Amino acid sequence: MRDIVDISIVGAGPAGATAALVVGQTECRSLLIDEQRQAGGQVWRAKDRSILSAPATPESRSGDNLRERLAASGVSQMTDTRVWQIERQGEHWVIHTLRNGTAGRLYSRAVILATGAREEAQPVRGWTTPGVIGLAGATALFKQSIRLPGRASVVAGTGPLVFFVASEIRRLGGTVAAVVTPNTRADWLARLPSMMARPDLLWRGGRWVADLMLASVPIYWGHAVKSVSGDDRVIGVTLCRLATDGTPLPGDIGIAADSVCLGGGLAPSIEAAQLAGVAVRYRPDLGGWVSEAESDGSTAREGLFLAGDSCGIRGAVAAELHGQIVARTALRHIGQASASDPALERAYRRASRFGEAMTALSVLRADPIGLATPDTVVCRCESLTRRAIEDEIESGAVSSNAVKSGQRAGMGPCGGKYCQSSVARLIALQENRALSEIAPPTPRPPIRPVPVSALAGDFDYGDLPMPKPAPL
């Protein structure tokens, strides 16, 4: 007989974990699944065992507090588990998992997807050189293993993350060669009224910038990294100033560095929701393509709910509140009494205002593809350059799906996470169409790499039923 869970939650970041805590207070059977070893998601990522005695940070404290609450609640957790397919079978959702190399299936009456965000890559010449890492990715290095990207780093990207990463590098004893951000001081001033919704976070961000200025770290406002130099390791970067419309201006600036943290903003992780049949729409104000969901997390698919950054980038504070709201919606769906909470919804709206202002600052002012030269690698899994993709579009491949089948862009291990947005921008540019018209490729399982051996299981060749040869 099948073991059926009432509510499964995929993703144990602020949204999914708080949803699990709410569901865990009821009698219903729930399960929290995440591919990381411990709950916490991106922002509250747990420290590795080797650095447990390292000084606490606001993020590590919040994460430890969450993990303690989860342990005390008795919520069932399945960590180190990748979800690679979600489908509807009759009255239930089937979640396909991979854990310790073994494939499994879970049946659930309702599912909350809280799969968070992914980092957008910014393809410029040399961005695949060893020593270049993602800006958001750098936070994982600090939090999990207190490792620095190098000895002298250029930190480049948008929104508050660029200042957080630069100040963390300094706190951990590294050198920041320069901070480079396409945002201008005027961009930040324009968002000040929305940021007043969370004066505590505004104050924290102000301290990061003040610390960098006091340490005389050069901050290049309204600039972008144009190229990274070095053959087998980074030796420096070239910057350019951006015009008000975001196009690069002449007059290059060279900076010596052995590492670069390079970010192009965050985009919602929509693949799991897409596989489950949720429609997507283009919302650049929320990070790009987002899955369609109501503010209470409900979607057009029965028993499927979305929480946190996976349905629009609004940040960790909003995600934590959203998880609680969506848990109540899911509980009502399975017939448990759970009243909505107007105070919680008000707090969520306030946190969203702050988060959306940060997202607006994180959306690149310059079209990131404008900085890629014809020989710049765009799809790193398949080593496809901008020129190769443009040639494919020129030959008639004018959709993301067509470029994918013609050139394999997005068919490598990352499943398109690195190149998908750039391919869409190249199509839009070449075909003179709006980005909102270039839909992401049709989602296909597996959304995470799965070894064929895990699907095939153990078998003896002698036991395989061999069909008789067809008569000639």
Ligand X SMILES: Cc1cc2nc3c(=O)[nH]c(=O)nc-3n(C[C@H](O)[C@H](O)[C@H](O)COP(=O)(O)OP(=O)(O)OC[C@H]3O[C@@H](n4cnc5c(N)ncnc54)[C@H](O)[C@@H]3O)c2cc1C
Q: What is the binding site for ligand X (CB under 6 A)?
A: 10-16, 33-36, 41-43, 82-83, 114-119, 136-137, 139-140, 266, 269, 272, 308-310, 315-316, 319, 447-448
CB of 183: closest distance to ligand X in angstroms?
16
CB of 14: closest distance to ligand X in angstroms?
4
* DSSP string computed for 115-167: --EEEPP---BTTTSTTEEEHHHHHHHHHHH---S-SEEEEE-STTHHHHHHH
Q: Among residues 23 and 389, whose Cβ is nearest to ligand X?
A: 23
Q: Among residues 136 and 388, whose Cβ is nearest to ligand X?
A: 136
Q: Among residues 170 and 387, whose Cβ is nearest to ligand X?
A: 170
Instruction: Please state whether beta strands 259-262 and 132-134 pair in parallel, antiparallel, or not at all (unpaired).
Output: parallel
CB of 192: closest distance to ligand X in angstroms?
19
Instruction: Report d(CA 270, CA 261) in Å as an integer.
Output: 24
Q: Which residues contact 432 (CB under 8 A, 6 or more apart)?
A: none
Q: Among residues 236 and 443, whose Cβ is nearest to ligand X?
A: 443
Instruction: Report d(CA 384, CA 370) in Å as an integer.
Output: 17
CB of 421: closest distance to ligand X in angstroms?
14
Q: Among residues 163 and 227, whose Cβ is nearest to ligand X?
A: 163
User: Is residue 129 a contact partner of residue 146, using CB atoms and an 8 Å limit?
Assistant: no
User: What are the CB-based long-range contacts (under 8 Å, 24+) for 163-167?
Assistant: 163/205, 163/208, 163/209, 163/212, 164/139, 164/205, 164/208, 165/135, 165/138, 165/139, 165/261, 166/208, 166/212, 166/217, 167/207, 167/208, 167/211, 167/212
Closest listed residue to residue 248, CA positions, set 265, 226, 231: 226
CB of 16: closest distance to ligand X in angstroms?
5
Q: Among residues 13 and 131, whose Cβ is nearest to ligand X?
A: 13
Q: Among residues 141 and 393, whose Cβ is nearest to ligand X?
A: 141
Instruction: Report d(CA 418, CA 404) in Å as an integer.
Output: 13
What secondary structure letter does DSSP report for 177? E
CB of 237: closest distance to ligand X in angstroms?
21
- The terminus-to-terminus CA distance of the chain in angstroms comes to 45
Closest listed residue to residue 100, CA positions, set 17, 144, 37, 40: 37
Q: Among residues 162 and 234, whose Cβ is nearest to ligand X?
A: 162
